[in-house]
Structure 1
Amino acid sequence: MTTERRTPCAAGVPDQSATCVLPWNPMSMMSPTFLRPLFFAALAVLSLCAFAQEKQRMSHTASGSFTVEMKPLGDTSTAEGVSLGRMSLNKKFEGDLVGTAQGEMLTAITPVQGSAGYVAMERVVGRLNGKAGAFVLQHGGTMHEGTQSLSIGIVPGSGTGELAGIQGVFKLVITGGKHLYTLEYSMPQ
């Protein structure tokens, strides 16, 4: 007859001559009865954190118009019908945003009618709804046979002065040759 020696596990690892006995069953933690309350408690904590973080930011909208001056920087290179270029950007904003912007744009013009792409970065300096400071806008745009897609957003962490912590999206509409903008943004309280 064989006798079984049962001892508590040292650091959870049984020795070869004994059967390990844990004071609780680790598999019981995987049961829906145990996990469901933990899931809802974690969800509640995350919701409260998101709500608290959202309450610490104020949403705003700014609108107006701007003029832009673009100048080529260097020669355009063309290979197999695709032209790559680089341009300087100089803008003057009016409306809820009063200020200027300087930046650079990279372009790609394809041989397909109405198809092109660009990326740009520009630093905006001025007053936004009365708050002085600066921030950087990042552009990405494509046109596929005349259908446009454009994304312009504030680079996270680029706000300075009274605009420190600014986040947002810049929307552009060109009507009758006039550049109109709407900036949907949030600021820390």
Structure 2
Amino acid sequence: MSENSTVVGGLQETTAAFSIELQPGESLLEATGRFDFSKVWTGGMDGTSTGFMLSAGDPAAGKAGYVALESFQGSIDGRVGTVVLQQFGTMDGEANLYYEFAPGSGTGELVGISGSLEIDTSGGGHDVRVSYRLS
């Protein structure tokens, strides 16, 4: 367990942060966008990830949606492996984000991981609370 980690309601919780670099990718469908991205994670999740995001709608007007998959390589509370993160987000006057570990995607010491991530951008960065369990 890392210094950032606690147990809450049977779930392990840790905190982390990430920096992200986005690059526009080739759109596959009309009225959609694609972005490729890479992240550097620090804290209870320590490592790197790469992924892609598909979006649709009008983000400038505050009405849009996106899905993303990213592959994380590194450690979570000192447990080393890889895992895929999946995201589903919508904006329609209010932003909603659902972010979780893809079932069955963990390797190494992250085999059997399940749980979710909450991102707080209110401080200008990407602060994350990770809630997970290992089966």
The within-5 A match list for 1:1-189 is: 59-74=11-26, 83-110=31-58, 113-144=61-92, 146-188=93-135
Aligned twin of 2:4 = none
Give the root-mean-square deviation of aligned CA atoms: 1.8
Q: Quote the Cα distance in structure 2 between the aligned partners of 1:174 and 1:76.
A: 29
Q: Spell out, residue by residue over 1:37-59, the C-alpha distance to the aligned partner (whole angstroms, 9 max, x if none).
A: xxxxxxxxxxxxxxxxxxxxx63
Larger radius of gyration: 1
Structure 1 segments, 4+ long, off by >4 Å, are 75-78
Q: Spell out, residue by residue over 1:1-40, the C-alpha distance to the aligned partner (whole angstroms, 9 max, x if none).
A: xxxxxxxxxxxxxxxxxxxxxxxxxxxxxxxxxxxxxxxx
Q: How many residues align?
A: 126
More strand by share: 2
User: Please, which runs of 5 or more residues in structure 1 have no aligned partner?
Assistant: 1-57
Q: Spell out, residue by residue over 1:80-124, the C-alpha distance to the aligned partner (whole angstroms, 9 max, x if none).
A: xxx311110100000111000100000113288211110000011
Aligned residue for 1:162, secondary structure, equals: helix
More helix by share: 1
Q: State the TM-score, normalizing by the size of structure 2.
A: 0.86
User: Please, which runs of 5 or more residues in structure 2 have no aligned partner?
Assistant: 1-9
Cα distance change on mapping 1:133 and 1:107 into 2, 3 Å? same
Q: State the TM-score, normalizing by the size of structure 1.
A: 0.62
Identical pairs, percent: 37
